[in-house]
Every structure is written in structure tokens, then in C-alpha cells.
Structure 1
Amino acid sequence: MNFDGILFFPVTPFDAAGHVDADLLAGHVATGLAHGAGGVFPSCGTGEFHALSAGEAATVVATTVTAVAGAVPVVAGAGGPLGHALEVARHAADAGADALLVLPPYLVGAPQAGLVAYVEAIAAASDLPVIVYHRANAQFTADSMRRLAENPKVVGFKDGVGDIGAAQLIVRAVARAGREDFAFFNGLLTAELTQAAYRGIGIALYSSAAFAMAPEVANAYYRAYIEGDEARRRELLDGFYAPLVALRDETPGFGVSLVKAGLRLGGTPVGGVRAPLVDPTPAQEARLADILAAGRALV
């Protein structure tokens, strides 16, 4: 798979009755494509995978695949309880997704052998290749990633931990396994804040939650990043991303909640977040509106 452009993680819109709004999702995905998304990752973290039933996840992925129509890769989320993960993996394959992003298993801590077995079970559930999401209770050692890299169906690694040293060791371990086709992603919250450091260790791709609500700002940062325009990149960091991160860090789960709020402020009625996440207060939404306005003024 080739990813050329920002990695887009769409939200999952809910209607007034709390059901997945497939029509609105299709429009949301189309907007991301129009702004140059290089890959679409439905039913993942920003899409509230944790709060979707297997049937809802299947609807989200199928809707996205139809909207994308082969323009860019579609990578669907799969994780949680193993039975659930296998079910959504098969649904994603049936819908025509191009790959799976393997999120952590449900709650339990596990030894490295168990984490490797979890990824391999999901990889074996369908014909889709998988990307490992390194985060929370699914943190892989360099040795484990080298072992997984021996499986040709494991095609990528997304870091959501932020330990640069560990990530560097994993990049090198995969290289020693002879995998030149492996994709590495920075998957930290608001990854723009850390991407300069990740590029230095060989991780050039990053996910952008901000792209879902402010694609013009995210694209301005991306252009500065790939063109090496450090003055422009720092301007956007200081004027948009740093204030956004400060607001995000006030409440757990706001990495998703603020994106949905930003879309609503822009006139896209995606609904709120599902429990256990919470929506911003009116005061926080007002601050978000100011942050978005400041970011767009820089574009």
C-alpha cells in the first residue's frame, strides 16, 4: 500500500436517535478526499471504535469503502475482545477494505507472546494485511515486531506510545528482518506536535485527527512539513496546534470530542460522542472556535 498525503481518520457521525448516520459519513469522507487525504482509516480511534458494535463498524467501513471508490487505501479498525476483533476483520474484508489497523485487546495485560498471537490471529481471520497499533496495553518490543515482520501479512507499525528510543529500535529491528515494504506511522494524539522528531528516526507518516475538522489547516502544516519550511511549520504549531493540545489535555478523551465539536461548529451535524467520552462544555467549544479561527487565519 502506498500512502501519499495526510492519513485521514474520519469521525463516526450519529443522528438524533444515536444511530450511525451513513449518509453524513459518506459526505464527511468525500470532503476528506477532496482535500487530498492519502488514506482513510474508518472505525478507528477518532471513529470511536471502542463504542461501536460489530454491525455498526461494518456499516462504517462499507460506507467508507463505497465513498472512497478505490481512490486511496482504506484501513479499518479491528481490536478489543478477540472474538469481536475477528468479526469486524471479516466484515471489513467483505466490505472491500484494503487493510486492518489492529487496536489493543480488551483490558487484559499480556506477555509479548500473547500480543504477537493476538495480532497473528487477526491477520489470519481474513485475507487483509494488518498494521500493528503500539499503544496502551499492546506495547510491543523490538524482538516482537521483528517476529511479526516475518509474517508477510503484517505490513506496518503505528506508534501511539511516544517512546522515541523504543520506536527507533523497532524501526531497526524490522529493517533487519529484511522488510523494505513496511509502513511506519506516528500515531500520537495531535501527531503534528511530535512529527519532526519521528521523521528523524525514519517514521515519515503520521495520522492527523485535526484534518477531520480543519483540513485546510492540516494541509498547510503537511505542506510545510514535506517542503522543509520550518518557519511556516513553527508558525502553525504555535498558532494552532499548541493551543489545541492545551485544550485537548484538559479532559480525557478530548482527542475525539474536540474533532466532533469542530465539525459541528463548521456546520456538519455529526452528533456528540458516545459514553464514556464526554462532549466539550459551551465554554470549551467557544475556545475551540477561537483556536480554529486562528488556525484558518494562518492559511
Structure 2
Amino acid sequence: MDLHSVLTPPLSFPLTPFTDDDRIALDVLAVHVEQQVAAGTTALFIACGTGEFTALSREEYREVVTLAVKTVAGRIPVFAGVGGGPAVARECLADAADCGADGVLLLPPYLVSSTPEGILGHIEYVVRDSPLPVIVYQRANARLNPATALALLDLPQVVGLKDGLGDVEQMQRIVATVRTSGHPRAATFYFLNGLPTAELSARAYRAIGVGSYSSAVHAFAPDLAHAFARALDSGDDALVDALLAAFLLPLADLRDTVAGYAVSLVKAGARLEGLAVGPVRPPLVEAKPEHVEELARIIAAGRAALAAHREERGQ
């Protein structure tokens, strides 16, 4: 799988819908996944952070991944989140393969902090028997340095690195170390910007050679996510700036008011769009009513900015 040609932004990270009596709403999930594919994403990352991976039982995880694979039906790649402790992550990886996923995103290990060498050892332990390609998620307690990132290229199962730390200088060192290493896989190793509301940092990451990014916005406003991505690709700086000012910066400010809103607000946004995704599971908290009202205004402002730009351009 040539990830550079397959995984182009904005990449979709769907929600996991729950019913009011705390079951997986599989019918809603099928609609949600179909909407994400129809909107034009090039890859689906199911049961990851936005999909509340840590809140799912193993049985629920298998249900969610299986349904996503069935709904997508081979149209685009489906990556499944795996994580927890090393033994649990290996079990999840095996489940993802059994359920038909095309690859996995390895989330940070549960709770334990370590050195970059220790994180590399964790990755080696989890992926050593993997039948699927693995993208490693660098975030929170999972931190690599240029040397350990380069060592990932010696693990044939590992095909890429997603960055959720936001240290652009360190990420530049990692990218440059890999690309100039002379390793046979140096040119094809895949890098992905995985910061919350990654559109905010998309320009900076492009400048260091990381063009792909995940988009939580795609889960509730794919029209705005794609408009931003197209503007970025075409060099339409006026539209990029307009969407940043009217939509993305206010969204990030609202997201930062409460811990966990990176998921809770996305679910609230999906509900505003008419999708019955239900509540978040603890320890996440629901968005406050006044924040949901503010979110609705922010989404409307983003669409108004997009419409005004198109009208100005005669589109």
C-alpha cells in the first residue's frame, strides 16, 4: 500500500455512536461511515481517539471494526485503532486483522511513561507478529526521538508515524533524519499530522514535509473539512485564512475550554448535523448546552465564510 498516494487529507476518524441504554448504535454507525466515505475521504480510521477506543469492550471493538469494514466494502482503506498495554494491544491487532481491517493505528501505551527506547521496545513487542501495516501514534507518553523513529524503518510492519505532540522542530528532525538516512524505506515511510484540529497546523507541517493530516472536523462538517483541504492544496490562501478565522480558530478555542472536548464537541457537532450518535462514555463529559449553542454558531460562521468566498469568486 503506497500510503502517500492513498492517504491524502482530510482523513476521517469516525465517532462511535452509543444508544441511551449504553449499547453500540450499529445502525447509526453504518450511516455515519457511509456519510464519511461519500464525503470523499481517502481513508477511514475507526475506533481511534475520536471513536473512543479506550471506552470499548473487546466485543464492541470487534463489532465496530467489522461493521466499518463491511460498510466501506473495499472502497477505501480502513485502519483500526489498537492500544492499551502491550499484550492487550497485540490482541486488538489480531482482532483488527480478523475483522478485515487494512491496517492499524497504534495508540500510546496505557499509563506507563518510558524513554524513547522503551517506547520503541513497546512498538516492537506489539507489532512483531502483525499481519497488517501499522502506523505509530506519537502522543502523550509515547515519545520518540530521531534515532528511535529511524529504527522504526527496520520494523517492516511499521509503515508510518502520526505526530500528536506538536513539537514542529523535533518533528522536523525526525522527518529529516528518516528522509536523509539512505534506508531502503526512507522515501516511502509515511508521516501524518495528528494534532487535535490538525487544520490549524497544516501549513506548518507541510513546510517540514508532512502533508497528510487527520480531521476531526470531517466527522461532523465534512464540507468544511474538504473545502479547507482543497484551498490548502490549490494555494487559495484567502479561503484558508477565512476558514481559520471564522471556523477553525474559534472551534479550537472552544475545544480548549474543557478537557475531553476534542471528542465531546465532535459528537455534539454530529448531533447538530442530525446524526444520533448519542453520548460520550466516561470519563469524558458532555458538552455544556451553552457550548453546543456556541458550536452551532461556529459551524454556521464557517459555512457563511465559505459561501461568501465562493460568491466572491463567482463559483
Q: TM-score range by the shorter chain?
A: over 0.9
Secondary structure of residue in 2 paired with 1:63? helix
Secondary structure of residue in 2 paired with 1:133? strand
- After TM superposition, the runs of 4+ consecutive aligned structure 1 residues lying more than 3 A away are none
Query: Which residue of 1 is the match for residue 198 of structure 2?
Result: 191
Query: Which residue of 2 is the match for residue 289 of structure 1?
Result: 296
1:178 partner amino acid = P
1:155 partner amino acid = V
RMSD of aligned residue pairs (Cα, Å): 1.1
Which of 83, 89, 95 pairs up with 1:91? 95
Query: Which residue of 2 is the match for residue 128 of structure 1?
Result: 132
Alignment of 1:60-99 (within 5 A): 60-99=64-103
Query: Which residue of 2 is the match for residue 100 of structure 1?
Result: 104
Query: Which residue of 2 is the match for residue 35 of structure 1?
Result: 39
Contact 1:89 1:125 in 2 (8 A): no
Query: Which residue of 2 is the match for residue 217 of structure 1?
Result: 224
Q: TM-score, structure 1 length as denominator?
A: 0.97
The CA distance in 2 between the partners of 1:27 and 1:212, in whole Å, is 12
User: Which digits, 9 at most, give the CA deviation of each residue in 1:252-289, with x for residues without a partner?
Assistant: 01011001001111111101111111011111111111
Please, which moves more after superposition, 89-98 or 168-177? Answer: 168-177
Deviation at 1:5, TM superposition (A): 4.1
Secondary structure of residue in 1 paired with 2:46? coil
- Segments of 5+ residues of structure 1 without an aligned counterpart are none
Deviation at 1:55, TM superposition (A): 1.7
Contact 1:224 1:232 in 2 (8 A): yes
Deviation at 1:96, TM superposition (A): 1.1
- Segments of 5+ residues of structure 2 without an aligned counterpart are 307-315
User: Which digits, 9 at most, give the CA deviation of each residue in 1:64-118, with x for residues without a partner?
Assistant: 1111111111111111122221111111001111111111111111122321121
Which of 196, 199, 208 pairs up with 1:201? 208
Secondary structure of residue in 1 paired with 2:101? coil
Contact 2:7 2:42 in 1 (8 A): yes
Matched, 1:145 2:149: yes
The CA distance in 1 between the partners of 2:233 and 2:127, in whole Å, is 32
Which of 162, 180, 184 pairs up with 1:178? 184
Query: Which residue of 1 is the match for residue 12 of structure 2?
Result: 8
Secondary structure of residue in 2 paired with 1:157? strand
Number of residues paired by the alignment?
A: 299
Contact 2:162 2:192 in 1 (8 A): yes
The CA distance in 2 between the partners of 1:235 and 1:248, in whole Å, is 19
Secondary structure of residue in 2 paired with 1:298? helix
Query: Which residue of 2 is the match for residue 165 of structure 1?
Result: 169
Query: Which residue of 2 is the match for residue 116 of structure 1?
Result: 120
The CA distance in 2 between the partners of 1:125 and 1:118, in whole Å, is 13
1:60 partner amino acid = V
Query: Which residue of 1 is the match for residue 21 of structure 2?
Result: 17
1:183 partner amino acid = Y
The CA distance in 2 between the partners of 1:20 and 1:284, in whole Å, is 25
Contact 1:12 1:20 in 2 (8 A): yes
Contact 2:106 2:136 in 1 (8 A): yes
The CA distance in 1 between the partners of 2:129 and 2:303, in whole Å, is 43
Deviation at 1:173, TM superposition (A): 2.1
Q: TM-score, structure 2 length as denominator?
A: 0.93
Contact 1:54 1:84 in 2 (8 A): no
Deviation at 1:139, TM superposition (A): 0.5
Identity %: 48
Please, which moves more after superposition, 54-63 or 135-144? Answer: 54-63
Contact 2:270 2:277 in 1 (8 A): yes
